[in-house]
Structure 1
Amino acid sequence: MSHQPQLARDPDTATQLVWAFVLTAAVLLAGVFVWPGARESLFHVFNALGGVEATQPFWAGINALADTWLTLGLLLPFVLWRPRLAILMLFAAIVATAITHTLKPGLDILRPPGVLGSDAFHLIGHSIRSEAFPSGHTVTAFTFAGLLILGLRPRWPWVALLLAVASIMGISRMVAGVHWPTDVLAGAIVGLVSVVAAVWLVDRWPAARHARWPVPVAVFVCAVCALGAPWVDVGYPQGVWANWLVALIGVAALFVGTLRYWPGRLGRSLDRRLGGIGRRGNW
């Protein structure tokens, strides 16, 4: 009798933790909006981290990793490992893009560089002045985290780690001086809610759940983003290490993926070692 690894002891835990995070972010967002001066005060608290010159390459790289191009590259090993993430990624991207690019031009809130003097804050990377709300990089970071949480259903420590990593990526937008805390909190909500909506759509659309085309499309897009990362300018020259990191991860993922799906004894051996998870297309 073959044993298949259990990815989550309680399949509802991941969803509960995601909703708890969304509700917490919503309460904080409302609090920052209501409390006079809270937006600017919190911005300066986090932006002060960018004043340490030695840490600027780190924060620049974190900002770069939250760029959509690099984040798609980071998804390559996960799509190869769990092909069912492909259709979920497609739906989440559509929902997140629709919400983000409706709110940004519609509200057209000025960013810190459009409000504060250049000597009043620290700026890392390129300067952007308009369409602050919500933070698109933060939306991307939390969409990425949500895909892994609700797509893979890991145990709660991994859920907490993914949310923490996405939070650091969101905070990096304030450290870089291009977003307010309200933008980041809204971006976190939009990103996670987009994945929840994608899960809901996939669960109620069997034809999409069992379609074959999303997998090769997702692998191709993620592979192009990963391998092309070193030559993409995301606006953070100090963080170019992140571009090369994504490329190296992509090359390693394609190498392992090729071995895994290679016909014959080698492919079967590696597939058994990985638990056979990647070849199961069922949602």
Structure 2
Amino acid sequence: MSKDNELSMNLRSDYLAMTVIGAHLAAYLLVWLTGSNETLFYWLNSLLSYLPDTFWQVTTHFGETLSAAAILLLFVRKYPVLLPHLLISGLCCFALVYGLKQFLDVTRPHLVLPIESFHFIETNKTTPSRPSGHTATGAFIAATLAYLFKDKYQITLPLIAAGCMVALSRIAIGVHWPLDLFMGGAIGWITGYSGLHMVRKLAAPYLALCKEGSRSFTLLYCISAVLVISLLVLMSWPYPEPTFWFKSVLIVMLTVTTIRLMRPGVSSTP
């Protein structure tokens, strides 16, 4: 691909990311100004209830922080920049979400509305509602992968849709307002897409070492993978049966990726 074509593709991808972020912010402003947050919650919750509860229970697990770490670690063999990205951008996303949660202190729908008035999938969530952490995490994964595959719209567009499905799962379960999703999605896309762009520039010395397939990189990856796998085993999530199968798939995939990375002759792309 020529430099002009590559630049054009990068610009189109950047415009797409900005469009997604702008859509989240515009939707937030529109719903807030019209006071339709509760009405939209009821409408979406009713519509989404036509799909099985198990579908939403599995989908919402993609919004767990550990899911983001595990899924993105699967791509580290080819894109070593994801390790510092997870550490820097991921922590920024986490801090923004949970800092705003405490500052805004919005109560979740299932703690305010009569449970019998909407479809509720049992959960013990009682922490503040806005912004949605699961939505931010799902958007962070989608934005990060969209940046890595910015020249492939057949991948980036489904990624945007997948991030939206994770967001919608929070309304389907009954634990978040639409405004929570719009704010969380914007945070996830900003930290995931723009964060990766900045980390690539800041982590140039680290990436130079990774190109050489250094032992330090392999060791750092193995430590990260073992830590994530251990936390997946030890930490409890809601919905026992979907959780068991979801975690099992992640653990197996992450273990296989780790074994492959430890083989000699691994090449990588920053």
Asked if Structure 1 and Structure 2 have the same fold, meaning a TM-score greater than 0.5 normalized by the shorter chain, the answer is yes
Which runs of structure 2 are paired with 1:1-283 in the superposition (5 Å)? 10-36=9-35, 38-49=36-47, 51-52=49-50, 55-195=52-192, 196-204=194-202, 206-207=204-205, 209-210=207-208, 216-226=219-229, 229=232, 231-240=234-243, 241-255=245-259, 257-258=260-261, 262-263=263-264, 278-280=267-269, 283=270
Asked whether the 8 Å contact 1:32–1:39 carries over to 2, the reply is: yes
Instruction: For residue 123 of structure 1, report the CA deviation from its aligned partner.
Output: 2.1
Q: Secondary structure at the match of 2:77?
A: helix
Give the whole-Å Cα distance in 1 for the aligned partners of 2:255 and 2:221.
Answer: 16
Asked whether the 8 Å contact 1:73–1:223 carries over to 2, the reply is: no
Structure 2 stretches lacking a partner, 5+ long: 211-215
- AA aligned opposite 1:63: T
Q: Describe the shift of the 1:233–1:105 C-alpha distance in structure 2 as closer, same or farther (beyond 3 A).
A: same
Q: Describe the shift of the 1:249–1:206 C-alpha distance in structure 2 as closer, same or farther (beyond 3 A).
A: closer
TM-score by length of 2: 0.84
Please list the CA deviations of residues 154-196 of structure 1 after superposition, one character each: whole Å capped at 9, or x if unmatched: 4122111111111101110110111011111111100111121
Give the whole-Å Cα distance in 2 for the aligned partners of 1:186 and 1:41.
Answer: 18
Q: Describe the shift of the 1:130–1:262 C-alpha distance in structure 2 as closer, same or farther (beyond 3 A).
A: closer
- AA aligned opposite 1:243: K
- AA aligned opposite 2:258: L
Give the whole-Å Cα distance in 2 for the aligned partners of 1:40 and 1:167.
Answer: 19
Give the whole-Å Cα distance in 1 for the aligned partners of 2:130 and 2:181.
Answer: 8
Q: Describe the shift of the 1:79–1:104 C-alpha distance in structure 2 as closer, same or farther (beyond 3 A).
A: same
Give the whole-Å Cα distance in 2 for the aligned partners of 1:8 and 1:135.
Answer: 34
Which 4+ runs in 1 deviate beyond 6 A?
Answer: 6-9
Give the whole-Å Cα distance in 2 for the aligned partners of 1:165 and 1:8.
Answer: 26
Correspondence for 1:275: none
Q: Describe the shift of the 1:247–1:214 C-alpha distance in structure 2 as closer, same or farther (beyond 3 A).
A: same
Please list the CA deviations of residues 118-170 of structure 1 after superposition, one character each: whole Å capped at 9, or x if unmatched: 21222224132341111001111111111112234341221111111111011
Give the whole-Å Cα distance in 1 for the aligned partners of 2:126 and 2:138.
Answer: 21
TM-score by length of 1: 0.80
Asked whether the 8 Å contact 1:60–1:238 carries over to 2, the reply is: no
Give the whole-Å Cα distance in 2 for the aligned partners of 1:172 and 1:222.
Answer: 27
Decide which moves more: 117-126 or 25-34: 117-126
Name the % identity: 21
Asked whether the 8 Å contact 1:91–1:198 carries over to 2, the reply is: no
Give the whole-Å Cα distance in 2 for the aligned partners of 1:77 and 1:140.
Answer: 16
Structure 1 stretches lacking a partner, 5+ long: 1-5, 272-277
Give the number of equivalent residue pairs.
Answer: 259
